[in-house]
Every structure is written in C-alpha cells, then in structure tokens.
C-alpha cells in the first residue's frame, strides 16, 4: 500500500512538472496582469463609491430615486431602486466636462471591454468549430 501511494505521488508530481514546463508563460502572465489590472480598477471604483456615499449631503428632502421625503436621513443609499441613480456629487464641474468624461468612460471601458469579450468569444468559437469539424461534419 505504501509503495503504491508513493508511486502515485511520484507520478502526479512528474505530470505536474511536465504540465508546468509546457505552459506558455508569456500568455499566462499577460492574463494574470490583465486580471490584476481589472481587479485593481474594480477595487478603486468600489473604494471611491464608498467614500463618496459617505459624503452624501444631510437634510436634503429630494432623494436620488426621485421621491420626496420629510425625513431624508432615512433614505438608504444602497437601496436597489436607486442603484443606477446619480446619488453623489463630487466637486464643481460644468455639464460639458462631466459629459465628456462620461462619453470617454463609456467608449474606453464599455466598448473596449465589449470588443475584448467579442474577440475572446470569437476565438473560443473558432476553436470549438475547428475541433468539431475534425470529428463530425458541420452544418450551417
């Protein structure tokens, strides 16, 4: 039993070593860097949102979800109805500058990430079709 266990462990370590030497480290490190970059962006956005929510003005009778309340202190910023509402003001900025920042954000992050996801989807689909064509005919 002991020699069988040691053989299994030795075989497993040998397979792990072969797997690690066959990895394309450049692609793996690029993926890791992209994952870390996106994680940092999300963390910064969440920290900024939490710090700005804390600066919500007290005593305002109009709540961000469009309702009127005589006790605005009872409004909960994390309410699901006001999730997409503009509820935090930050600094003084003209509308055109705020709109320019909004458009740049939408184009770079919204459409940029959409382009990346479409490329990844195309690549996965192409791999699937190639593999599928090797085994069975592909109908269109």
Integer Cα distance of 111 and 125 in angstroms: 21
71-91 pLDDT tens trace: 656 666 666 666 666 666 667
pLDDT at 58: 57
pLDDT at 32: 87
> Residue 65 pLDDT > 70, yes or no?
no
As a whole number, mean pLDDT of residues 22-32 equals 81
pLDDT at 98: 81
pLDDT band at 123 (very low <50, low <70, confident <90, very high): very high
Q: Which of 55, 61, 47 is nearest to 89 (CA)?
A: 55
Where are the domains positioned within the chain? Answer: 1-38, 92-140
**Burial label, 128 (beta-carbon count in 10 A; 0-12, 13-18, 19+):** exposed
92-122 pLDDT tens trace: 778 888 888 888 888 888 888 899 999 999 9
Integer Cα distance of 103 and 92 in angstroms: 18
Predicted TM-score (pTM) of the model is 0.36
């Amino acid at each position: 039993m002991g020699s069988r266990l040691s053989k299994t462990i030795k075989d497993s370590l040998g397979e792990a070593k072969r797997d690690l030497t066959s990895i394309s480290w450049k692609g793996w490190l690029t993926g890791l860097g992209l994952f870390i970059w996106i994680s940092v962006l999300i963390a910064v956005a969440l920290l900024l949102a939490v710090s700005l929510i804390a600066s919500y003005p007290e005593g305002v009778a109009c709540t961000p979800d469009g309702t009127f309340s005589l006790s605005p202190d009872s409004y909960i910023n994390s309410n699901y109805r006001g999730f997409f509402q503009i509820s935090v003001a930050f600094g003084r900025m003209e509308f055109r500058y705020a709109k320019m920042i909004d458009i740049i954000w939408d184009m770079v992050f919204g459409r940029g990430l959409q382009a990346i996801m479409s490329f990844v989807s195309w690549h996965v689909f192409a791999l699937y079709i190639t593999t599928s064509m090797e085994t069975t005919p592909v109908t269109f």
